[in-house]
Amino acid sequence: LPDLPDRREATGRPTTIEIAEVMSDITVTLAGGGAMPLLGFGTWQIRGREAYEAVRVALDVGYRHIDTATLYRNEAEIGRALRDSGVAREEVFLTTKLHPSDVGREGEVLKASLAALGTDYLDVYLLGWLGVGIAFPAAPGERVDRTPLFGAVVCLVPAVLVGFAAGVLWII
């Protein structure tokens, strides 16, 4: 992993690393009783070795909330980085998302996400880009009505309440 220079002396301001260390300790209590760190490390648009190394560095400097999604295609790298980091799974707040195109296969997709991440639970499972009743391009030239997403929410809620540490489902 790359060395991370301390630039505080040059600027007089806290470094990103110092901010992450402090912010990772600031949490909000969720309705189910769990605590979610307010600062999370997002992994959108990073894949492969870059995703692995970025998450390793994030965990090394103190991030304890990692956000990914099946759409990002980096869950396996995130899981490997978490395992290799030496940080206990219970210390990391892990979020992933179901893509609207996977509605109808949510159970299968959830199992695949858990396997790729190398964990048996998530702290939050999001249904990304709800777009209920709104048509949006699913593929070039194709438009799809996403109203059926409400059915996925109904199907997922029991799994969330039974199988997830924080017992929450967020819809964004």
Q: Which residues of 70-87 are buried (b: 16+ CB within 10 A; e: fewer)?
A: bbbebbbbbbbbbeebeb
Q: How many alpha carbons lie under 13 Å from residue 140 in its C-beta half-sphere?
A: 0
Annotated catalytic residue 72: yes
- Catalytic entry in 52, 72, 121, 125: 72
Q: Coil, strand or helix: which one is 31?
A: coil
Specify whether the CB–CB gap between 83 and 59 falls below 8 A.
Answer: no
Give CA–CA dist 120/143, Å, rounded: 35
Give CA–CA dist 38/40, Å, rounded: 6
Name the residues annotated as catalytic. Answer: 72
